[in-house]
Amino acid sequence: MATVSYPSYFIRASSNRDSHDQNKQKLNNIRINGASSMSSMKPDTLSQPAGVVSTYNSFTSVNGNSITTEECRQNIPTKKQSVDPHRQGLIIEGGVGYRQTVVIRSYEVGPDKTPTLESILNLLQETALNHVWMSGLLSNGFGATHGMVRNNLIWVVSRMQVQVDHYPIWGEVVEIDTWVGASGKNGMRRDWLVRSQATGHVFARATSTWVMMKQETRRLSKMPEEVRAEISPWFIDKQAIKEDCPEKIVKLDNKARYMDSNLKAKRSDLDMNHHVNNVKYVRWMLETIPDEILESHKLSTIILEYRRECGNSDIVQSLCQPVEGGILEDGLKHKNGINLNGFSLASEVLEGSGLLCNFEKLPLRYTHPFQVKGEGGNEEIVRGRTTWKGKIPSKPITT
């Protein structure tokens, strides 16, 4: 399984959206410099002692309590917050969900002015962490609660799925809702909904499953009762993506049509647990997709199943194999036509009949295993599946 740097990992617009207008109005009253004109909106913060920033002492005293300079600088809330003026966040869903407003930045988009999947996943990660931040449960671990830190536990993601119906564009304001729920007896589920603030149109949905791991032994752990007591009041019985029977991703051998070998994580790819962040796998995965597909198609669905951790000393091999059985088996147009399950039709015939355009819009699917080189051979660390749909001209989105 992959150790990641945020708590557990898609839904429709909340019907109770109007009930949070009061909080939203408070958020809109915040001045540009981040200060609020309403004292009730200020988070439960620790007053910063004089000289902390200039001296960076290891410890300082606030109200008679000794705290580290890091804790003082982070200013982690010790009580539940309803509004976060700095992160443009609100508590919703009757006090247990979280909504954050973000603007799509220039460094988050590609040549087509839409955010990359990496950027979207990073936004999901940030909102998940901010949700825990505002809950008042966050300890000094990255996304870990106080009970988890006392039990030497960290979160690891076992499965994640993202569905993108439409991509926002550069400069667009989007709202991201996130919440958590139970997953079996010892797991947790985290879901997201990404929508346009202007129209309410749903862009993407995401869901993920999380379990706990002992930080020292790197073995999975049952959920302690004190941790269950912390997080269970935040559970919502709602799903962004309903999976009555989750799709199984078949295992592949060491042979695949496309391959990228001898990959090694850089320092910038590691999370706070010193292991490869899950977003890095997505980058490696997309680099094996043929250029022809990237130019003519857009990623619509991605599923990731994490099987073990990956560190910066591991040598990774990224494989990519077209899913057999589709009309366009490999997703590529050949020189003399298109291969249809063993039969070749001349491209001139297809273009003349208008079929080529339809074929290019059909979804293409690829399986993506990741392996590390070990003493006993290659060992699988992640298994993925991507679905791609043909690009269509941009049209105004209506509600």
Three-state SS for the chain is: CEECCCCCCCCCCCCCHHHHHHHHHHHHCCCCCCCCCCHHHCCCCCCCCCCHHHHCCCEEEECCEEEEHHHHHHCCCCCCCCEECCCCEEEEHHHCEEEEEEECCHHHECCCCCECHHHHHHHHHHHHHHHHHHHCCECCCCCCEHHHHHCCEEEEEEEEEEEECCCCCCCCEEEEEEEEEEECCCEEEEEEEEEECCCCCEEEEEEEEEEEEECCCCCEECCCHHHHHHHHHHECCCCCCCCCCCCCCCCCCCCCCEEEEEECCCHHHECCCCCECHHHHHHHHHCCCCHHHHHHEEEEEEEEEECCCCCCCCCEEEEEEECCCCCCCCCCCECCEEEECCEEECHHHHHHHCHHHHHHCCCEEEEEEEEEEECCEEEEEEEEEEEEEECCCCCCCCC
72 is catalytic: no
Among candidate residues 20, 166, 273, 278, the one labeled active-site is 273
Q: Give backbone dihedrals phi and psi of 148, rounded to 5 degrees, phi first.
A: -65, -40
Catalytic position from the list 20, 131, 166, 275: 275
Question: Taking the chain, what is the end-to-end CA distance rounded to the nearest angstrom?
Answer: 40
Is 310 a catalytic site residue? yes
Side-chain half-sphere CA neighbours of 149 within 13 A? 10
Residue 131 annotated among the catalytic residues of the structure: no
Of the residues 20, 72, 310, 368, which is catalytic?
310
Which active-site residues does the annotation give? 273, 275, 310
